[in-house]
Structure 1
Amino acid sequence: MDFSLTSRDPLPGAVEGRGDGSGAPAPDPELLRRGAVTTGLRHEPPWKRDWERGVMFAAVATTAESTVYDQPALLRKVARQEVLLSIPRRRRLTTRRGAQLLLDHGRAMAPFQDDRAWLGELAGSVAGRDRVDVLRFRGTPHRGVVCDDPRVRDPYRPPAPGTPVVLFSDLGRLRPSFASGAVAEQDEWRTFVDSVIHAGCPVVCLTPYRPTDYSAALRRLVAFIPLDHSISLRHALEATSRVRRALEGA
């Protein structure tokens, strides 16, 4: 639902009049810019402040070998009398691959526009703004994506293999009235997810819905992290590690 908010009372700290004799305070030009809320309402992050960076780290991180030897794995190989071609090392989480962040600008996600902007900033601060490729879309990314100029829609291309693809979307769960073909069907989303996994990229979805609201087939392929204040860092790590292991096993 598209909507806007307008303040009926004087803004705090406003002392100048409009100059029309009404005595009403003059609006701050900065507050009238697109996307600003003129009521002074503060955005409340959907995740706990102590955990928000950790949850985002779990979404954009990938695994890489560390310099520490994996002693349990080494002992298992020795016990099975396997030939040691190399010494196994422990794997650790890293953000050095960056991430591709796909932001859904469809009508169903309009109430979450503040969360959308907040997640974009958070992803950049965690993984590095120069390593996060932010793209906007409607329907699904296969219908075209926007990078900078909203008048130019480019064909979607998955990132380099191993790079996390992080979606901020409901994946067609909510279907606004009169949206018709603007909302993608589940089959279209499944085709998109399959293409990204085929390119060697894990898929993470930040969604306003619970993971159980999606089909079991989709949950096997996508790590769902809900926009929920009760979300735990453990849930985020388990969900993303599951899809990474499945991709590495394939």
Structure 2
Amino acid sequence: MSAIWWGDLATAVRRLSATRVLEPEDVAKIRAMLGMSRVDGADRLPSDETPPHPEPPHRDQRGEAAEVASIPPDTAPPTPAPLARPPRSAEALSVELTASTSVSPPDPWRDAAPLPTLADLPPRDDPHTPLLRPGAEYGVLQAAVSRPVHDGEVDIARLVTRLATGKPVDRLPRRRRWTLRFGVQLLVDHSSAMTLYEQDTWALAARLDRLLGAGTLSRWDFDGSPWTDLDDRPYKVPSVGSVLILSSFGIHPACPPTHSVPAWTKLIDTLHRNEIRAVAMIPFPRHRVPGWLTDLVPVIPWDRTTTVATVRAAMDGGRTR
């Protein structure tokens, strides 16, 4: 008998014994399936190894060969009687039934802890990155909301020119300087287009409050129309030097246009008549700013590319009064 057959038999018996108790007839069935059935005390070769043609009988076996040839071909060999099975007690049957129906051990990975879900993860506290470049925020805000006054040092060049032309000097000409002492009003738009920039709006308002000091900053919150606030109160012209408007002015394409051009035109003209300097800051690039808005008020892009020089250029090119 081949050693491979014995190895297969041992492997099959070992694996099946882990789940149930094997009886002798179970082992016999396994042997039969492996082609290892015993006939007349000798191992029988499997069918695939049976010689295709029987060897011719030897000369001294002619009588035995003739006897075998005299057997009719249709006569089948007698079937051996099955081996008697000893009776088993009820306790043995219970043990066998329990072993055969026992649950197989769980897979090793089922004892591992489950992976955390999105709800189990702690909230991320990502630091806020402002739209304006850190380090340039106060300079940009100061350049945007300060207004010019002619109370600096004496302008010697203008004074000499006036004297050289023989004109009377009733007041000394002075250089222009920028100041924040007149106060600032901050107009904050809460329309759907500005929802993404709420944190930037609050951060900018806090920096503007630290820049100006106590009592010099007022705030007006509105949604769409600047003439009424969030509590439907009418807008009143403040007694300040500058007004900074944080709004989208209806530029965002995904949001419904809630801004009226005539309403903004009326508001900016009213501020100018009261000698209030108005400036707009929008969270969009300059090429998306509509022409009607640049005709009304200086517009400052609210992004990382904005510098003090950018603000000065916008203020000089816009309508400043």
Task: Please indicate, yes or no, whether the TM-score normalized by the shorter chain is above 0.5.
Answer: yes
- Cα pair distance change 1:66/1:105, threshold 3 Å: same
Higher relative contact order (CA 8 A, sep 6+): 1
* Distance in 2, Cα, partners of 1:241 & 1:128: 26
1:51 matched to 2:136: yes
Residue of 129, 149, 173 corresponding to 2:251:
173
Q: CA deviation at 1:214?
A: 2.5
* Distance in 2, Cα, partners of 1:207 & 1:67: 32
* Distance in 2, Cα, partners of 1:191 & 1:176: 26
3-state SS of paired residue (1:203): strand
CA RMSD, 1 decimal: 2.1
1:204 matched to 2:279: yes
1:128 matched to 2:203: no
3-state SS of paired residue (1:130): coil
Larger strand fraction of residues: 1
Q: State the partner residue of 2:58.
A: none
> 2:259 corresponds to which letter in structure 1?
A
Q: Does structure 2 retain, via aligned residues, the 8 Å contact 1:169–1:207? A: yes
Q: State the partner residue of 2:180.
A: 95
Which runs of no fewer than 5 residues in structure 2 stay unpaired? 1-117
Q: Does structure 2 retain, via aligned residues, the 8 Å contact 1:211–1:219? A: no
Matches within 5 A, 1:174-193: 174-177=252-255, 179=256, 183-193=258-268
Q: CA deviation at 1:159?
A: 1.6
3-state SS of paired residue (2:215): helix
After superposition, give the CA deviation of every residue in 1:144-202 in whole Å (9 maximum; x if it has no partner).
124xxxxx332111222x6111000011212545x46xx11333322222222222211
Q: State the partner residue of 1:141.
A: 226
Q: Does structure 1 retain, via aligned residues, the 8 Å contact 2:241–2:277? A: yes
Q: State the partner residue of 2:235.
A: 156
Q: CA deviation at 1:110?
A: 0.3
3-state SS of paired residue (1:220): helix
Q: State the partner residue of 2:309.
A: 234
Q: Does structure 1 retain, via aligned residues, the 8 Å contact 2:149–2:178? A: yes
TM-score, with structure 2 as normaliser:
0.59
Q: Does structure 2 retain, via aligned residues, the 8 Å contact 1:140–1:184? A: yes
Q: State the partner residue of 1:213.
A: 288
Q: CA deviation at 1:126?
A: 1.0
Q: State the partner residue of 2:60.
A: none
> 2:140 corresponds to which letter in structure 1?
V
Residue of 134, 140, 147 corresponding to 1:62:
147
Q: Does structure 2 retain, via aligned residues, the 8 Å contact 1:60–1:127? A: no
Q: Does structure 1 retain, via aligned residues, the 8 Å contact 2:190–2:221? A: yes
Aligned residue pairs total 204
Q: Does structure 1 retain, via aligned residues, the 8 Å contact 2:187–2:245? A: yes
- Cα pair distance change 1:221/1:79, threshold 3 Å: farther
> 1:84 corresponds to which letter in structure 2?
V
Q: State the partner residue of 2:86.
A: none
TM-score, with structure 1 as normaliser:
0.74
Q: State the partner residue of 2:126.
A: 41
3-state SS of paired residue (2:151): strand
* Distance in 1, Cα, partners of 2:266 & 2:152: 39
3-state SS of paired residue (2:172): coil
Q: CA deviation at 1:224?
A: 1.2
3-state SS of paired residue (1:188): helix
Q: Does structure 2 retain, via aligned residues, the 8 Å contact 1:172–1:186? A: no
